[in-house]
Structure 1
Amino acid sequence: MAKGKYEKWLEKDNLTRLKAWARDGLTDEQIAQNMDVGVSTLYKWKNKYREIREALKKNKEIVNAEIEESLISTMKRHTITTIQYKMVKKDKLVLDAERAKYANLYKIEHPEATKKQITIAVAEKIPVYEQIPFVKTVTEVDPNISSMIFWLKNRLPDKYRDQTFKKLNEAQARKAIAEANISEKQLKALEEADNPDNATVVVDDISKLKELRDKNADSSTKQGD
């Protein structure tokens, strides 16, 4: 492994990539493959370098749980706390202590670093000023109706589904039943029409009707003789 290969994964853009992979639920083996290193190397880096460890500590399940918890919180009456900060210069003793502590950590993680490099790293990492809170505002927020509707429709769809779709489904069911009944009636009518016993003779002339009646009478007389 090339010396200092881990350094590129301490850069901001690559730390963002690590966070995204962890958020997507990738395993350590998959993340190591994306980083082009062995999983044992990744474990060593996680133990040794705080930035990499913190970037990977949240996995997909934790993020999903946080989002669900956040959604639930919007469905209840809750409060939002807003804090405004101001920048003040650190106490000299506190600043010196923080810089000394970070310098020691940096030496351990970067044994090849020069004194100048350590000084620059400390100056970049440990700011002279710090934020302190000076105004705190608490606001009460009503439940979010849209969130409640979304939750109920997904958790209890049979009870809270959109009534428009429910009525449409009922109408389609009634239409299908009606069409089935019509088809049965049409089929029955065709079967009756094909039966010769149900044939009907239509006579539109009275004289032809009498002639037909006389023929039937003669036929009956001959059979009697």
Structure 2
Amino acid sequence: MAKRQKLDDWLKEENLIRVQGWARDGLTMDQIAYNIGISKQTLYRWQERSSDFLDALKVSRDSADRQVENALFKNALGFKYVEQQLTDTGEVVDVEKYAKPNTTAQIFWLKNRKQEVWREKQNIEHAGGVEQKIDLSGVSDKDIEKLAKMSDEE
């Protein structure tokens, strides 16, 4: 039989660090609960009972999210960085390089930040009043083809 997990055991520094790492690595609440050996409902109760436990989950997730957001933004705009290289004489020198703006990062940013302008799917509203549904189950294929040709001519 598995050992019953207690919140007090998970409030010890080494266990809080473990939980922080899982949250920072992007594990879901289900996965974190599984790793601890508890249900997701118990995990939520522990968050309510202990601000230290809640912070271990929340701060790590927020920090990781911010780091990724900053990296995406930086990649979208392009950036300079320093890379160490070895010369022919064996000396290590710093070389400044430039990473060009990443088009994929730009598209992702715009589609998420300015959805009304950049989304691919356009919503078109019909101003013709109430939507009507017409049952064509009794109409022959030949008659439907005639209707289609008539609408093409208009």
Superposed pair shares fold, TM > 0.5: no
Which structure carries more helix by proportion?
A: 1
Q: TM-score, normalised on structure 1?
A: 0.32
Larger radius of gyration: 1
Q: TM-score, normalised on structure 2?
A: 0.44
